[in-house]
Chain A
Amino acid sequence: MSNLIIAMIRYELLITMRAAYSWVTPLLFFIIVVCLFPLAIGPDIDLLNKIAPGIIWVAALLAIVISINQLFSQDREEGYLDELLLSSYPLTLLISCKLISHWIAHGFPLIIISPCLGFILNLSTHQEYALVMTLLIGTPTLVLLGAIGSALTVGIRHHGLLLPILIMPLYIPVLIFAIGAMTAASVNQPIVGYLAILGALFLITLAFSPLLTSISLRIGVNQC
């Protein structure tokens, strides 16, 4: 089984790397959206610092939504989804492998680039730390929640904005506690409590998302 997990993650990452647009597009979107705000608001450093957490987090959230759209659509077009559904391994395991590689390819680059964007928006060191930590715990939760919506819409052609409408309400708790941590960091208060809640949200979604995604996927493929 460990062979399968390593092979799945390796080849999923290889596929994403070869289709560079699939991971570069959300990353560039994230960078451009954040960079547009200082241009639009003007050189008011205090104001920028105040709204920076919201800007970065909403941009990261939208970048994840863009990327999650591709999670199963390509597999369905290639007929590879049928292979996964008919495999003798549990579908939840195969989906978990896909989600891990999806986060590495689409979530992790956002975290790497976020300190630079925090610098543009005049974040302090403590805020930068809070930003990286909240993204590190928060983005896997966003990917896990997005997977359920992505699986549900897999059988619908040209679903357009249906997926964001389905999953964005689910992102609200993560957003609230991530912004809470960032706000606490801006007044030099401890952020451990917020991170703990984000961690709890991650563990809850980790427990349910692969199972719900596999059920949704069977329903979605049934409509094909």
Chain B
Amino acid sequence: MNFIMHNISFQREDRWLFKNLNSELMPGQCLQVQGANGSGKSTLLRILAGLIELQQGEVIRQQPLHYIGHQNGIKLNLTVAENLALQAALFNSSTCLLPVIHHIGLSPLQDTVAGNLSAGQKRRLSFAKLLLSKKPLWILDEPTTSLDKSGQDYFIHLLNEHLANQGMAVIATHHPLFIDEERNRCLTL
């Protein structure tokens, strides 16, 4: 099923953040949303995820989806392993957790409380849910923020694997991600 956004507009306090946005994604494609600070990228993504009510227009998408916002969606008082176990329960995932911890590169830190991780490590931990349960649509807000070079490469690898498996992704980013030309779509706010 394709992902379609049709004539989406959003108004905040008498100011139009964006007007009549249109885009369509086929399975295996990625939409990169770009724009200056305050142009409404995050708001658009929250609308597409269904967290903010749509004011005008229509979004056709497949539920369920994965959303990672500015905050990582992890509990800072739980350890890495406990966070994964909680997310596995939330997503009804029976995936074995140890390989996932290894995959995201946090094996030595699995008993560390998430609040004590660095910003980049927290980001890596937030990617765990992408592996725990496979969902056709990812909506990610600045996913490479605070990641080092190897972290960014790891994310690109994850994303390419997802797209190769006919997944779709909507990603807000300041720095364009290098994805195959035929998979890549762009939207500038």
A residues sitting closer than 8 Å to B (CB atoms) are 3-4, 7-8, 11, 14-15, 18-19, 77-80, 82-89, 94, 221-222, 224
Provide the bound-state CA to CA distance between A80 and B108, in Å.
24
A11 / chain B contacts, CB cutoff of 8 Å? 75, 78, 82, 85-86
B67 / chain A contacts, CB cutoff of 8 Å? 82, 86
Most B CB within 10 A of own CB, among A4, A86, A224: A86
Distance in Å: Cβ of A87 to nearest Cβ of chain B: 5
B75 / chain A contacts, CB cutoff of 8 Å? 11, 15, 78, 80
Q: Contact at B71–A7, with CB atoms within 8 Å?
A: no
A3 / chain B contacts, CB cutoff of 8 Å? 89
Query: Does B14 reach chain A (CB closer than 8 Å)?
Result: no
Most B CB within 10 A of own CB, among A80, A87, A224: A80
B residues sitting closer than 8 Å to A (CB atoms) are 46, 49-53, 64-78, 82, 85-87, 89-92, 113, 129
The listed residue (B49, B53, B78, B92) touching A86 by CB distance below 8 A is B49
12 more A-B residue pairs beyond the given contacts A7-B89, A15-B75, A80-B73, with a C-beta to C-beta distance below 8 A: A7-B85, A11-B86, A14-B78, A18-B77, A78-B71, A79-B68, A79-B73, A79-B74, A80-B75, A86-B67, A88-B64, A224-B46
Q: Contact at B78–A89, with CB atoms within 8 Å?
A: no
Interface of A, helix, strand, loop or mixed by DSSP: helix
Q: 15 A-B Cβ contacts within 8 A?
A: A3-B89, A4-B89, A11-B75, A14-B77, A18-B77, A78-B71, A79-B72, A79-B73, A80-B74, A84-B90, A86-B65, A87-B91, A89-B90, A94-B90, A222-B51
Q: Contact at B90–A83, with CB atoms within 8 Å?
A: yes
Q: Contact at B51–A79, with CB atoms within 8 Å?
A: no
Q: Contact at B51–A82, with CB atoms within 8 Å?
A: yes
Provide the bound-state CA to CA distance between A203 and B46, in Å.
36
Residue of A nearest to B126 (CB): A79
Known: A4-B92, A11-B86. A83 touches B73 (CB 8 A): yes
Q: Contact at A88–B52, with CB atoms within 8 Å?
A: no
Q: Contact at A222–B74, with CB atoms within 8 Å?
A: no
Provide the bound-state CA to CA distance between A224 and B49, in Å.
14
Provide the bound-state CA to CA distance between A89 and B74, in Å.
18
Known: A4-B92, A18-B77, A85-B51. A77 touches B87 (CB 8 A): no
Q: Please name the 6 residue pairs, one residue from A and one from B, whose CB atoms are nearest each other, closest first.
A: A79-B71, A7-B89, A79-B73, A18-B77, A15-B77, A83-B73
Distance in Å: Cβ of B71 to nearest Cβ of chain A: 3
Q: Contact at B70–A7, with CB atoms within 8 Å?
A: no
Q: Contact at B82–A14, with CB atoms within 8 Å?
A: yes
The listed residue (B71, B77, B89) touching A8 by CB distance below 8 A is B89
A88 / chain B contacts, CB cutoff of 8 Å? 64, 91-92
Provide the bound-state CA to CA distance between A164 and B82, in Å.
33
Residue of B nearest to A1 (CB): B92
Distance in Å: Cβ of B96 to nearest Cβ of chain A: 15
Provide the bound-state CA to CA distance between A14 and B64, in Å.
28
A222 / chain B contacts, CB cutoff of 8 Å? 51-53
Residue of A nearest to B50 (CB): A86
Provide the bound-state CA to CA distance between A84 and B74, in Å.
11
Provide the bound-state CA to CA distance between A19 and B76, in Å.
10
Q: Contact at B76–A78, with CB atoms within 8 Å?
A: yes
Distance in Å: Cβ of A26 to nearest Cβ of chain B: 18
